Amino acid sequence: MNKYINLYLLEYSINSLLRQKYKNIFITTILTFLIFILSSMFFITSSIKNELQFSVESLPEITVQKLISGKHYDIEVDRVNEILSITGVNDATARVWGYYYFVNAGVNFTLVGIEQFEKQYKDSLQNLVDSSKGFDESNAYIGQGVKEIMRKNYFKEYFNFILPDGSLKKINIGGTFKSDTNLESNDVIVLSKENMRSIYGMSEEYATDIVVKVANPDEVATVAAKIKLLYPDTRVITKNDLKVSYQNIFDYKSGVFLALFIVSLFTFFIIVFDKASGLSSSERKEIGVLKAIGWSLDDVLKEKFYEGALISVFAYLLGVFLALGFVYGFGAPLLRDIFSGYSELKTAFELPFVLDVQTMVLVFFLSVPIYIASIIIPSWRVASMDADEVMR
Amino acid sequence: MIEFKNINKSYKLGKNNTVAALKDININIKEGSVVVLKGSSGSGKSSILSLVSAISKPTSGEVIVDNKQISKLSDRFASEYRLNNIGIVFQKYNLVEDISVEQNVILPLIPKNLDSDLVESKVDTALDMFGIKHYKNSTVKNLSGGEQQRVAIARAYINEPKIIIADEPTANLDEKLSLDFIEIIKDLKKQNKTVIIATHDPLFFNLDIVDKYIEMKNGSII
Amino acid sequence: MILSPEILTIYILNFLFFVFGLIALNLSVKIYLKYDKNSSEPIQYTLERQSYLASTIIKYIFIVKVPLFLFFIFTLDKLSNVLSGAMCGAGVLDATDYGTMLITLKVLNIYLFALWLVLNTEDVKHENQPYIKIKFALFIVLFALFLSEILIESYTFYNFEIDKLVSCCGTLYSSTSDSIVSNIFAIDNKILVSIFYANFALITFAYVFKSKYMYAISNLLFIVVSIVSLIMFFGTYIYELPSHHCPFCYLQSDYYYVGYLLYALLFMGTFNGIMVLFKDDLFKLSLISNLLFVILVSGYVVVYFLKNGVFL
């Protein structure tokens, strides 16, 4: 038999839990619920964070934006050539992209403009251009989410864009646009740069921003500094900056959530403390009998910890399991809006499945040790009770 | 061999009110003897039982069992002493009613964390000895009073202690069952167990198996 | 300051430890001052029962603290993504003034907590509780150390600057730079490796002659010698890079988390090695763990030599 786990004591503990059914179901339910909320929240953030990090990964190393009075303006296309002449720069592309508000559905689409024969800055776009059907400059290629919304509004073969002057521009839908991550392509419409400029009323000398590829990752910082020096009116963002800021934003969001959650944890601690302290007379008698027949204080304590471990580990597993189902099975209704934040404007997307072990460890630390801590003192009080009252 | 030397025991009730439960008690009990403690309730019988089993400690004096001072044992060693040397049959049996006979009888074995084979054989021996083997898996609350008492005796016996204590064992039994209990005492005596019975049941007052009667009144031996 | 859920979790648990530690401290002081094993006054029995509460709390803190320590290292690794310049936990610790002190204190406290537990187990086995005063006196000291660990940890996390450029582990532990740590490491590798194997030989020698004191002292020495030679010599073979001196990087997945195994073996070996002072039957476990540690680190050197035909 195992030296470390006393199976008969375990059996006794399980029976003892079952005998106090209502009290224990009550505590287990609350604990499970807390673990469920906490892990759902962490699962959602880690899922979104992962998706974002992944799409950042596919971006070029540096993005250059023009700023006037702190606001983002269109940048001159001919700056591309200047940037290309900086040593270390592999490639620079002027991007034309933006949002398009589709009034009928009340959602924002992301429009991305490309030219068929230039080198694409993203693999997903390159795949589109290289695909067997090819890229037809007069067509639009739409993401899965966009496709569904358009279908609901009876746009199946073409779509009418409203131009700045109020006239309509009809563009045929050439196919779907796919990428590795849902979040990246879901709300995207890929068009030719020419169509884009006419939709936005933008002149040919301008682009939205410039993306720069640098081959050697160690040189990124130097190249970024050079660009900044060359064009003081720009904001130069490196891929690493983006990653760090995503990490920080999501850490901060879940940090704030957790900070608010501390109150619930504390309340739970008090409830358990209270429930574990209040013993019925039959429970008191039972402990007295156990001590009278030779159980030591340590044995009673051990029994109480077996009970605590059973409850908290069970609640932990159940809570995490429910959260996995809720987040990845049902797409976390209600809760995920807190974290995605722009669901009203952006088309819906699926939360990709990421089995985040670190999150599970984190939730474990926030549940099991706290539960065990809350029963230490009540259990000791019970265990150190005098046995002699059962003899009277 | 159990020895009480000048034992006094008092309880505190409130601040300046102490009640003397035992006054200057001296007792000698030989190994393998059957002793009956007589006296009305409140006379101090139960206090003597809890001192023998190291459940409580005397206010002054010494309790010596097999040359060992048990009145000064720490909590941990008092438990260990109780586990290995004492079997208690409580007045109201004090069984855990919602679990099976087997699970009740096992209780004193749990702290020892023994092999399951050993546990099984011990349980079977004990249940067999007291004729309740067929109830092994029954829930205690479905048993009759006499059967419950047998479970309680089996539980007291399972660790094969030298001393078995019974507190008012026949208070809830009819005459036939009480006589059965006396038969069990005879068996235990044959196995050289020391048996201490606290009772005011006249049935015990003229038995040839009893080696010693101790009559108590107001905390003293008469 | 970084408000990440990992750091908050550590804060929450630290707070819990602090509150429960205070209760245990209060009981320890009471028991230390008033416990008298010859007296049989009722207060002695109360104290005895309270000693169970104190030891339960201390056990609890230790049991949660060990995995939390691993979680702490993991968190540092994660934070190294956020801090520019840091490649692993070492760089993150460098980001604050007391990083090195914090990690030293943490390791020391784990040793002391484990010592306390062994003392406690031995103590309650005997009827007269020979170590009861020593163990509670030890806890009073331990609590002071533990409290400083918590305070330094909070201070460290509070002062993390995301924008601050920190050193990578490579520069931190190299003998060419002039950081304080580096000076200790400016010992010749040949001497260092000789000391390392000599120390292990001494341990084996003490084992053969069952000399408790020599065994314990040589193990105490072995903690420091091993860590220094890991950083200076053996680590470079794990990384297969002569210039990479870092006690953290091999905790990462790139090196199959071998660091956790190394440190676990070293802890098991040296801790049990010191504990032979109180318990004789630990000799074997200690020697086996130390031996496995030595074999493992030497194995990296041998394998490197077999693969490449040269030493670094």
Asked if A190 and A177 touch (Cβ cutoff 8 Å), the reply is yes
Beta pairing, strands A139-142 & A168-176? parallel
pLDDT score for A349: 60
Contact A366 C9 (CB under 8 A): yes
Determine contact, residues A58/A124, Cβ cutoff 8 Å. yes
Judged by DSSP in three states, B217 sits in strand
Say if residue C288's pLDDT is above 90: yes
Model pLDDT, residue C168? 61
Asked if the model's pLDDT at residue A1 lies above 60, the reply is no
User: Residue A183: what pLDDT?
Assistant: 67
CA distances from C126 to A107, C42, C118, C123, C131 (A): 75, 20, 13, 6, 9
Q: Classify B91 as helix, strand or coil.
A: coil
pLDDT at A343: 45
CB contact under 8 A, C127 and B74: yes
Q: Which of C40, C52, C124 is nearest residue B72 as measured by Cβ atoms?
A: C40
Mutation choice for C interface testing from B76, B79, B80 by most C CBs within 10 A: B76
Kindly state the percentage of chain A with pLDDT values over 90. 24
Is A383 within 8 Å of chain C by CB? Answer: yes
User: Which whole number is the average pLDDT over C106-133?
Assistant: 90
Contact A40, A326 (CB under 8 A): yes
In this complex, is the C-beta atom of C127 within 8 Å of any C-beta atom belonging to chain B?
yes
Q: Which residue, A280, A301, A268, is CA-closest to A370?
A: A268
Phi (first) and psi of residue B213, to 5 degrees: -110, 135
Q: What pLDDT, on the 0 to 100 scale, is given for residue A11? A: 92
Cβ–Cβ below 8 Å for A362 and C6: yes
CB–CB contact C5 A301 (8 Å) = no
Closest CA to A362 of A42, A8, A65, A73: A42
Q: Do C52 and A298 touch (CB under 8 A)?
A: yes
The pLDDT value recorded for residue A36 is: 94
Residues of A in contact with C6 (CB under 8 A): 358, 362
Whether residue A374 has pLDDT greater than 80: yes
Q: Are B85 and B163 in contact (CB under 8 A)?
A: yes
ipTM for the complex shown: 0.91
Using a CB–CB cutoff of 8 Å, tell me whether C16 touches chain A. yes
| Claim: this prediction has a pTM higher than 0.90 | no
The 10s digit of each residue's pLDDT in A235-288 is 888 888 887 777 777 778 788 888 888 888 899 999 888 888 888 888 888 899
Helix H or strand E encompassing A373: helix A357-383
Under 8 Å CB-to-CB from A181, ≥6 apart: which residues? A51, A54, A55, A352
User: Distance (Å) from the C-alpha of residue C205 to the closest C-alpha of chain A?
Assistant: 33
Residue A289 forms contact with B (CB below 8 Å): yes
pLDDT tier, A204 (very low <50, low <70, confident <90, very high otherwise): confident
Q: Residue A363's pLDDT is what?
A: 93
What is the Cα–Cα distance from B96 to C220, expressed in whole angstroms? 52
CB within 8 Å of B157: residues ≥ 6 apart: B87, B126, B129, B130, B164, B188
Burial class (CB in 10 A: 0-12, 13-18, 19+), C269: buried
Residues of A in contact with B86 (CB under 8 A): 294
pLDDT confidence band for A345 (50 / 70 / 90): very low
pLDDT in the model for residue A344: 45
The reply to whether residue B76 touches residue A19, judged by beta carbons under 8 angstroms, is: no
Ranges of each domain in chain A: 7-55+245-391, 75-207
Hey, which bits of chain A come out as E strands?
62-68, 71-73, 75-76, 89-102, 107-114, 139-142, 158-162, 168-176, 188-192, 206-207, 209-214, 234-238
Q: What are residue C28's DSSP bridge partners?
A: none
- Other beta carbons within 10 angstroms of residue A351's beta carbon come to 22
CA separation for the pair B13, C211 (Å, rounded): 58
- Write the residue in B57, B73, B75 that is nearest to C49 by C-beta: B75
Average model confidence (pLDDT) across chain B: 90
Q: What is the pLDDT of residue B192?
A: 93
A175-195 average pLDDT score: 82
| Shortest Cα–Cα distance, A22 to chain B (Å) | 15
Test B76 with A297 for CB contact under 8 angstroms. Answer: yes
Residues of B in contact with A10 (CB under 8 A): none
pLDDT, position A339: 63
First-to-last CA distance in chain B?
Answer: 22
CA dihedral sign, ordered B62, B66, B68, B72: negative
What is the residue whose two structure tokens read 């051990």? A302
Nearest chain A residue to C46 by CA distance is: A384
Q: What is the mean pLDDT of residues B61-81?
A: 90
Which whole number is the average pLDDT over A331-350?
A: 61
Domain ranges of chain C: 5-168, 173-308
Asked whether the beta carbons of residue C2 and residue A358 sit closer than 8 angstroms, the reply is: no
- C129 shares contact with chain B (CB less than 8 Å): yes
| Residue that wins the pLDDT comparison between B85 and C308 | B85
**Which of the other chains make 3 or more beta carbon contacts under 8 angstroms with chain C?**
A, B
Contacts of A323 (CB under 8 A, 6+ apart): A35, A36, A39, A40, A43
Chain B residues with CB-CB distance to C129 below 8 A? 74
pLDDT in tens, B90-136: 988 889 989 999 999 999 999 998 898 999 999 999 999 898 999 99
Q: How far apart are CA C45 and CA B7, in angstroms?
A: 19
CA distance B42 to chain C (A): 23
Determine whether the interchain pair C127/B77 forms a contact, defined as Cβ–Cβ distance below 8 Å. Answer: yes
Residue B98 to residue A15, Cβ atoms within 8 A: yes
DSSP state of A86: S
Q: What does the pLDDT read at residue B197?
A: 94
Q: Residue A308's pLDDT is what?
A: 94
A247 touches chain C (CB under 8 A): yes
pLDDT per residue over C61-111, tens digit each? 999 999 999 899 888 877 777 666 666 777 777 667 777 788 889 999 999
Q: Count contacts between A and C (CB, < 8 Å).
A: 81
